[in-house]
């Protein structure tokens, strides 16, 4: 579903859905309401709805109730409430299933003694069969009648309609035969066994589906419930929810960090693998950032809270994973379209089967049994679970590996990437440029560094930070008339001297031998002019990430064309590209030109992805078919990206593509099994090769097999 601009998105938990037809019908009902656009997820039992105009939460709840389901706004306590309610319902259904088994076993067991010469005499008395089957049909099986009534009242049909109709036909025929003592076989065992097997399938399915959301549950469990907070010089234990930004908290050795913060005092190493997937601990000292739920090592850390509640990185990850698991992949649209018409078509086939067999065999009982088998075998549950269960497991595995997926559509497209455009600074490189060479033409080194640092103190560019780090003093002079010239440099006045600092090409000296010599060694060159005089040449180097060459090699082995985009001159760009193993690059590209470069790369139908980390990458990320933001990058870049790599490592892109391929593979397998199951099962039932009991068992196991196949994604590991 494409969401329009405007409005607000609200997530609801949905109760009462039993199959794909339910979710498809509810989504259709909600999308017909004014001011609502909905995406309903059967596996997650969630609906994400964009509300606009006068539409509000109460209108959603009313519309859902009218369609035969229940809805509640998801809040911070919803997951805990749902978990408790599901456990309660699960225990109740276990008891009902045990009763159903106890009542159905004698009915099914008699079938093994009915073969042979005296089989008819081994049959249980029909009045006893009636007494055993009736509670199963109308007490244990009442859920199917209730679900069918709600579905039909809402103008649709679902799995409950098929089960209720099929088993009622078998029970009703058998009851008439028993009541009037007719000379016909009875099928009480068929209806009772089908209901029992469907319940078994539902229990197994519920148990398997619970495992698909383990990733979010594991993340939620990571954050400690209390923190040691400084109050009036005393350390007190208080709930994490009570912390405010600016509070000072203590993390002792072996404890988990309660909220996001900045180290004020102390030295330690912190295990951030639960957020980044990186197993090596990260050293932390004064000024370093720490994140909620990460595990402190051997030293104590005194920290200042910077992000609490929903503002922590962990909360953001949980929110993104939840949104991705509730989103719908385009590949699911075919299944949705089929599910919407599936039940009416199956009912028509069952009616045709009944009429055809009655005409062919002149045997009402045979016609009835075959029609019931068609109704029972045709449950569309597997079809509805095929995509969302794989998406839930896949996005959860991605979160464990430090790959956050914004939506299922992005995850699906990632597998088809043919061209990957890379920003250089902060993506291929560490993003921490340093001044490695300084050639002074006028004055002293200390003086030109003082002037350059004063000029750059108003800039956020990585090169500016390098100069500030090298040349900052206790008291920098004030810069007036500061102006940034995109793609060229900056200008301003310091101590009455007009200064310009930027790329050699801005001043027309890019052909200077000194400049070219530095560029050929892979260094970025900026020059400082005072008036018309060249004051100094700065050589700045940003080291390549140690993992970048291996990551580029992984991407190229997948057949992906890797292109580097950089504002650097062609000589420096060529040196960096060669070091990273990249054969193709675009140099001298201004920030505003990156989106145009992507449009050029898209020519010919290529699916183009972009990796970036800075504010100036946001337009290009938005223009890409699939976009990746390095986790250490700017909020603007992360907001514009489809996937966020928490660990600042290009290997995360290769991992995301690998995860996409694995997830889409499971979706295709699930859809294939679901389609083949129905394509093969319905004709077999219609031709009389399946009795209702076998059909019920096969139908129950089809849903379980699809969910179990999705759970195999848990074997996926980064680096593959």
Task: Report pLDDT digits (tens) over 382-423.
Answer: 666 777 778 888 888 887 888 888 777 888 888 899 999 988
- Highest mean pLDDT out of 21-30, 213-222, 378-387, 527-536: 527-536
Digit-coded pLDDT (tens) for 476-497: 888 888 888 877 888 999 988 9
How far from 296 is each of 134, 263, 274, 583, CA to CA, in Å?
61, 12, 12, 42
Residue that is written with structure tokens 């180290």 in the block: 263
pLDDT for 115: 43
CA within 13 Å, CB half, 634: 16
pLDDT, residue 427, reads 80
pLDDT at 21: 74
DSSP count for the chain of H helices, then E strands? 25, 26
Mean pLDDT, the chain, whole residue set? 81
Beta carbons within 8 Å of 37's beta carbon, 6+ residues apart: 1, 3, 4, 7, 31, 49, 50, 52
Lowest mean pLDDT among 67-76, 179-188, 364-373, 438-447: 179-188
What are 315-361's pLDDT values in tens digits?
Answer: 776 766 666 555 566 666 666 666 667 778 888 898 999 999 999 88
Query: What are the tokens at 483?
Result: 């102006």
The structure tokens listed for 7 are: 């409005």
Band of the pLDDT at 52, cuts 50, 70, 90?
Answer: confident
Q: What is the pLDDT of residue 251?
A: 92
Higher pLDDT, 630 or 32: 32
pLDDT band with cut points at 50, 70 and 90 for residue 63: very high
Residue 640 confidence class, pLDDT cut points 50, 70, 90: low
Can you list the alpha helix ranges (DSSP code H) found in 546-626? 548-557, 570-580, 594-602, 618-623
**Per-residue model confidence (pLDDT) at position 693:** 66
Q: How far is Cα 267 from Cα 57, in angstroms, rounded to an integer? A: 49
Q: Is a pLDDT exceeding 70 seen at residue 117?
A: no
Q: What pLDDT is attached to residue 5?
A: 47
- H runs (alpha helix) in 503-611: 504-507, 513-520, 548-557, 570-580, 594-602
- The answer to whether residues 665 and 432 touch, using CB atoms and an 8 Å cutoff, is no
Residue 616 pLDDT grade (very low, low, confident, very high; cuts 50, 70, 90): low
Q: Which two tokens stand for residue 600?
A: 């050029």
Measured distance CA(353)–CA(356) in Å, rounded: 5
The overall pTM is greater than 0.75: no
Position 614 pLDDT exceeds 60: no
Q: What is the DSSP string of 408-459?
A: HHHHHHHTT--EEEEEIIIIIB-S--EEEEEEESSS-HHHHHHHHHHHHTT-
Per-residue model confidence as pLDDT tens digits over 659-713: 999 998 998 898 888 778 777 888 988 898 877 767 666 766 777 788 788 889 8
Residue with the larger pLDDT of the pair 24 and 110: 24
Identify the pLDDT of residue 634: 42
Residues 111-126: what's their mean pLDDT?
58
Among residues 33, 69, 66, 28, the alpha carbon closest in space to that of 52 is found at 33
Q: Look at phi and psi of residue 202 and say left if phi exceeds 0, alpha if psi is from -120 to 50, else beta.
A: alpha
Q: Give SS3 for 71.
A: strand
Closest to 566 in 3D by CA, of 426, 400, 442: 426
Residue 106: pLDDT over 70: yes
Q: Is 232 a catalytic residue?
A: no
- Residue 582 pLDDT greater than 90, yes or no: yes
CA distance 127 to 281: 72
Kindly state the average pLDDT of the residues 530-543.
88
At 349, list the tokens: 């086939």
Interatomic CA distance for residues 463 and 448, integer angstroms: 16
What are the tens digits of pLDDT across the range 182-203? 776 777 877 787 788 777 767 7
Whether residue 381 is predicted with pLDDT greater than 70 in this model: the reply is no
Highest mean pLDDT among 8-17, 126-135, 309-318, 609-618: 126-135
- pLDDT tens track for 207-254: 655 655 555 666 667 778 889 999 888 899 998 888 888 999 999 988
CB-based contact 20:157 (threshold 8 Å): no
Burial 219-233 (b: 16+ CB within 10 A, else e): beebbbeebbbeeee
The answer to whether residues 70 and 14 touch, using CB atoms and an 8 Å cutoff, is: yes
What pLDDT, in 10s, does the model give residues 259-290? 999 999 998 888 876 665 555 678 888 888 89
CA 167, 168, 171, 173 torsion: positive or negative? negative
> In the prediction, which pLDDT does 633 show?
44
Distance of CA 522 to the CA centre of its chain: 39
Closest by CA to 20, choosing from 322, 323, 378, is: 378
Q: Tell me, what DSSP letter sits at residue 309?
A: G
| pLDDT the model gives residue 98 | 92
- As a whole number of angstroms, the distance between CA 15 and CA 527 comes to 66
**What is the arrangement of strands in the sheet containing 70-73, beginning at the earlier edge strand?**
36-41, 46-51, 8-15, 70-73
- Edge-first strand listing for the sheet containing 282-284: 282-284, 268-271, 295-296
Cα R_g (the chain), whole angstroms: 33
Tokens encoding 565? 């985009």
Q: Secondary structure of the chain: what % helix, strand, coil (to 5)? A: 55, 20, 25
Dist CA 266 CA 300 (whole Å): 6
Three-state SS for 599? helix
From start to end of 419-488, where are the E strands? 419-423, 434-440, 479-485
Q: Inform me whether the pLDDT recorded for 135 exceeds 90.
A: yes
pLDDT at position 112 over 80: no
pLDDT band at 365 (very low <50, low <70, confident <90, very high): confident
Which of 128-132, 138-142, 424-428 has the weakest average pLDDT? 424-428
Positions of E strands within 426-532: 434-440, 479-485, 489-494, 497-502, 524-530
Which 3 state secondary structure label does DSSP give 446? Answer: helix
Question: Looking at per-residue confidence, does 342 or 608 come out higher?
Answer: 608
Q: Residues 414-435: what's their mean pLDDT? A: 84
* pLDDT confidence of residue 131: 94
C-beta of residue 190 within 8 angstroms of C-beta of residue 203: no
Q: Which of 160, 260, 423, 642 is catalytic?
A: 423
- What's the pLDDT score for residue 3? 41
Say how far apart CA 686 and CA 520 lie, in whole Å.
76
């Amino acid at each position: 579903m494409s969401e329009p601009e405007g409005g607000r998105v609200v997530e609801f938990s949905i109760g009462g859905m039993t199959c794909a037809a339910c979710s498809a019908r509810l989504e259709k009902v909600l999308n017909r309401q004014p001011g609502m656009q909905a995406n309903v997820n059967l596996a997650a039992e969630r609906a994400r709805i964009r509300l606009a105009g006068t539409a509000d939460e109460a209108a959603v709840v009313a519309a859902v109730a009218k369609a035969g389901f229940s809805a509640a706004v998801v809040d911070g306590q919803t997951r805990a409430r749902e978990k408790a309610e599901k456990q309660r319902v699960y225990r109740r259904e276990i008891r009902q299933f045990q009763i159903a088994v106890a009542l159905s076993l004698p009915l099914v067991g008699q079938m093994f003694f009915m073969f042979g010469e005296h089989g008819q005499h081994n049959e249980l008395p029909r009045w006893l069969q009636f007494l055993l089957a009736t509670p199963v049909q109308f007490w244990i099986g009442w859920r199917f009648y209730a679900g069918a009534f709600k579905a039909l009242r809402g103008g649709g049909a679902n799995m409950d309609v098929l089960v209720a109709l099929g088993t009622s036909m078998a029970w009703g025929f058998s009851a008439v035969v028993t009541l009037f003592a007719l000379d016909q076989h009875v099928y009480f065992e068929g209806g009772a066994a089908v209901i029992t097997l469907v319940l078994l399938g539902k229990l197994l399915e519920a148990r398997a589906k619970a495992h698909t959301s383990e990733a979010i549950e594991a993340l939620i469990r990571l954050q400690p419930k209390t923190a040691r907070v400084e109050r009036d010089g005393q350390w007190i234990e208080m709930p994490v929810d009570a912390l405010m930004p600016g509070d000072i908290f203590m993390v002792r050795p072996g404890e988990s960090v309660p909220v996001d913060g900045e180290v004020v005092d102390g030295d330690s190493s912190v295990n951030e693998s639960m957020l980044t997937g990186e197993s090596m601990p990260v050293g932390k000292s004064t000024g370093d950032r720490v994140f909620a739920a990460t595990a402190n090592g051997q030293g104590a850390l005194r920290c200042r809270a910077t992000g609490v509640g929903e503002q922590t990185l962990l909360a953001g990850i949980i929110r993104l994973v939840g949104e991705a698991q509730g989103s719908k992949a385009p590949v699911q649209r075919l299944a949705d379209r089929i599910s919407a018409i599936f039940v009416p078509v199956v009912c028509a086939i069952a009616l045709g089967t009944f009429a055809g067999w009655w005409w062919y065999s002149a045997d009402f009982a045979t016609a009835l049994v075959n029609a019931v088998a068609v109704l029972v075998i045709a449950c569309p549950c597997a079809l509805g679970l095929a995509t969302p269960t794989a998406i839930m497991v896949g996005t959860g595995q991605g979160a464990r590996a430090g790959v956050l997926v914004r939506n299922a559509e992005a995850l699906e497209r990632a597998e088809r990437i043919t061209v990957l455009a890379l920003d250089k600074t902060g993506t291929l490189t560490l993003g921490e440029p340093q001044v490695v060479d300084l050639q002074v033409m006028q004055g002293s080194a200390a003086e030109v560094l003082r002037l350059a640092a004063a000029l750059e103190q108003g800039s956020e560019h990585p090169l500016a930070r390098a100069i500030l780090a090298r040349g900052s003093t206790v008291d920098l002079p004030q810069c007036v008339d500061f102006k940034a010239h995109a793609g060229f440099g900056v200008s301003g006045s310091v101590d009455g001297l007009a200064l310009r600092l930027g790329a050699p090409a801005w001043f027309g000296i890019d052909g200077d031998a000194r400049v070219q010599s530095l560029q050929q060694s892979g260094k970025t060159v900026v020059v400082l002019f005072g008036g018309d005089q060249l004051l100094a040449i700065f050589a700045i180097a940003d080291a390549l990430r140690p993992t970048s060459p291996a990551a580029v090699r992984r991407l190229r082995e997948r057949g992906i064309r890797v292109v580097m985009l950089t504002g650097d001159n062609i000589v420096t760009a060529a040196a960096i590209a060669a070091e990273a193993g990249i054969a193709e690059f675009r140099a001298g590209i201004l920030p505003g030109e990156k989106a145009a470069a992507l449009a050029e790369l898209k020519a010919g139908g290529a699916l183009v992805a972009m990796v970036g980390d800075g504010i100036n990458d946001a337009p290009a990320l938005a223009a890409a078919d699939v976009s990746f933001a390095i986790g250490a990058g700017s909020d603007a870049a992360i907001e514009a990206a489809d996937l966020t790599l928490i660990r600042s490592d290009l290997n995360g892109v290769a991992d995301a593509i690998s995860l996409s391929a694995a997830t889409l593979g499971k979706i295709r397998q699930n859809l294939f099994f679901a389609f083949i199951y129905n394509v093969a099962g319905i004709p077999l039932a219609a031709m009389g090769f399946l009795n209702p009991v076998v059909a019920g068992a096969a139908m129950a196991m089809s849903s379980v097999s699809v969910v179990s196949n999705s759970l195999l994604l848990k074997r996926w590991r980064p680096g593959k």
